[in-house]
Structure 1
Amino acid sequence: MKETKKNKRTRKRGVQASRAKLTAAMHGAGFKTQASLADHMADIEQLDQPPKDLINRAFRGLPVEFRTIERLAQAMGVEAYDLLASRHDQETSAQIESANDAVTPAESDAEAFDQTPRHWHSAWYTKTAVAVAVLAIFGITAAIFAHRSLTTVNDVNIKLPPVVDRFSLIVIDEPDLPHLITDAFRHKLSEEFNVASEFATTVADSLQPDVLADELGADLVIRIATEQVGHHLGLQFYLYSMGQESLVWTDAIFAPTTQQVSEQLADTLRKVLLEITKTGNLQQYHFVHPSALHEYLVGRAALDQYSDIKNLAIARQHFSEAIKLDDKFALAQAGMCNTLSQESWLGATKKKLTDAARFCERGLLLNQNHPYPLIANAARRVAEGQVLEAIDLLDKVLANYGEHLNALIEMGDAQLAAHINQPSEARLNKALDYGSRAAQKSDNYWRIYQLLGRANYYAKNISAALVSFEKVAETVPNEVVLANLGTMYFCQGEFGLAEKQYQQVKQLTPDSYLPYEFLGMVNYFNGNFKASLELRELAMDKIQSKANDHQMWGAIGDSYRQLGDHEGARRAYREAARIIEKEALNGEHAAQNQLFLLHYLLQLQQLHAQDKPPEKLELALQALPRYENDIVDTAGLSRLSYIYLQLGHREKAKEIFSKAVDICPGYRKLPDLAALVSDQKIADQSSDL
């Protein structure tokens, strides 16, 4: 009997509910959470335990019995068939799950990556200093306007009173809403409506819309409900007319940008109300369901935090939920792009940026004029190395939206990235200028001081950088921030303070690799090579993926080399070189990586006691002069100086090393270049430590 191939897909028994429809019904019935719905079901069905697992399964879009859908419908007072997922719902859910799978770290060695953010001095060479670690932290925040939505939200028909000329309208001042916004609303709405003054609500007996309308004789009343999540404020606009109150618009703003967005937000509300008063419905305007808006706000708040793997995972989860609820939510699409762009700094770069591009393109397609999709797309361009293109995009945002806080921060980051890629004093000064202008807008947003700290570091103003990083540490005192603060002490030559700072990180996060790596660095600079090796290997044991950080392997190789263990050094340098080759296959071809690769290969050649480098390596080493203008941080400069020293070019090595010491004076104690410290120029530069 001939066998037939089995279909790889297995039929899933049961039916699927639409998460969007479930969430809308849940909120419509007055339940804020799935847990409260479960408690209600337990009460009406007289159950011993709330059916939380059952509800969770339905909300996740997993197959359930139709009887389960009926029970949920009964609890929420809707029809069961109105909760079932359409084909479009199922396809959207599948696309999001696919995207989440795409950004999940692979288990294979070729694709594995460390899920902990990189930082500054990795071992003894500054870990691409600020170029990888702190530059990797891109927080794109912007004033945001939520636009598309579930069709169920917009299917409203509003009864309107007859009017002879213009509708009269009252805007209720909400305690949590900045007066700047409500004042802008009144001013803009007065172009089309007779609007009561800001004192109208103070003379009425109640703030209830029906009471206000009756007492003051208003045709319409606007009530604005708010939801604060971090720095972000969600807005829900309700219109009261003829005894009926309807949700007519939702939006969100980033608090520090209130002044920049209030006029545009007011104009949007004016257009919405005009459409309603002309047609009685909102067929021409689409807005986001409050449930999707809530998920977005939580995602943005997580993205505002320091960009470690935990916060990025939280942001990605909530943006995914927002897109599941509304796949036309432009800002959620941009948020997902932003998250993936930041995750690309942690590893699997090519894949992450490919996925980020898809979400950014979708967000821009849905809304080409909003600042957040534009800013998120600019951050993606920077992550891809297209820094000048990112600067052009940000120029447009600043031209259209004025001194927009997050556009200023992102422009500062982009200008600094341009300086790192191609040293330019003008670019560096621009980065400092944008950071200073951002600081005038807000004095408590940590990303501003992160930018100023990095820019001052490259401007060789370590004391100013230290002040900025201390400010960051006060706001977000996590392990990476505290470790970076220790690095500033290290650069000042205060090794004791640096070690104390790293010990504090160790107490805060004993399972993290960070304190052990940095303590290994301090011990290496102090000549304690055995202790440095033990600490560096301990850091490697604690890291989640040993395969992705060539500088950590290079540092271990350095400790082995100083101890005379040539076999151990060869193993570590070979692994470091392999990682760079893997990164090249993922599209990473930075000059910094190529320089480090030459260093590792040269160490391997010398450890094999060869008189001269092989022909291919010798040809590559002849191209060293081009790196002198491409490298601006202590990590690369120190490696370049060491290569020149090993090749017998002592004067050139001194010249390059003096640049490294000029940026970070603590490097004067680097054991590998101790032979150069006797140079008077370098000694003079560090005499004030």
Structure 2
Amino acid sequence: MAVSENSPRKRKRGIRASRVKLEEAMARAGYKTQASLAEAIADKENLDSIPKDVVSKVFRELLVAPSSIQRVANILEVEAYTLYKSAEEQKREYTITENESKIEKTAPIESIPATQPALNFRSLLLLILVVLIGVITTIITVNVLNTSSNMQIVKSISGKFANKKPTLGMFSLVIDADEKSRELLSIPTLKKTLQNNYTFSDYSQFSKTLDSELLPRDILNELQADFFLKLETTEFGGFVSTTAFLYSDNDVHNVWAISVRRSYIELDELLFIEDLVSTIEFETGVLPNYSSKFSETTNQLSMLDYMKGRNLLDQSQSN
């Protein structure tokens, strides 16, 4: 029998996966991108085409057949039900959406009568986070447009110290890192990765015998070194922000800055060290061209604000 046009539509069936649970399972399984996960599914199932659409729908938390989530779970080596979106997550998502709708309809602060009760902490935190995300999205969009329009110019730009010549045969480097940076990135591994193009001056004994207030340029003069690399790390809950400053003579530049979850670095520390090394090699003229995979030196303050907001949101959700 034909279905009337006026008959009610059938309710959509399916299950939603939790993006948070999916990303956690991906990190544990060692997959960094959805594309690599889709390729793994194709290899396991001997498919001619890669099921990118299936993986995309699962990660976008759309209604999908249980078998679609099962295919992803097989690759991540977890039970499929552990990836399902829980009722609590759906309730939280509905609450956040409802609060955002209320915020949009709220009158400006100046027009609120003095008798109206103040916003509670959770609503205020959500408002701050929404504003931060909007600002960061705008900045990133502008940068992407600038990068696209100036692609040919960027390719011709050389490193900040590309014109400097080594004092001796190879560039000599002094490395100084605070305690949190040493916990996050292995300094011996960093030196081993740099040793093909740089020699190292022994800064440990030098720092014990001379005035700790000496500037990097004074240390470079004392050790007859070419560059002074300083690593500084700030931590906010599960997030870290690490910055690399490169000094030479009277010049200093912020050459590498990342703001990410600490677990991402712990998952593949060598990947971040190699990115830092390649950046240093480019900035000192050893490499003719390189673009960091993780560094955001131009947006560091915005990323720090975003990181603080994310950390506060994580804390409020765990309480």
- Shared fold (TM-score, shorter chain, > 0.5): no
Structure with the higher fraction of residues in helix conformation: 1
With a CA cutoff of 8 Å and minimum separation of 6, indicate the structure with the bigger relative contact order: 2
- Higher radius of gyration, 1 or 2: 1
Structure with the higher fraction of residues in strand conformation: 2
| TM-score interval, normalised by the smaller of the two chains | 0.3 to 0.5
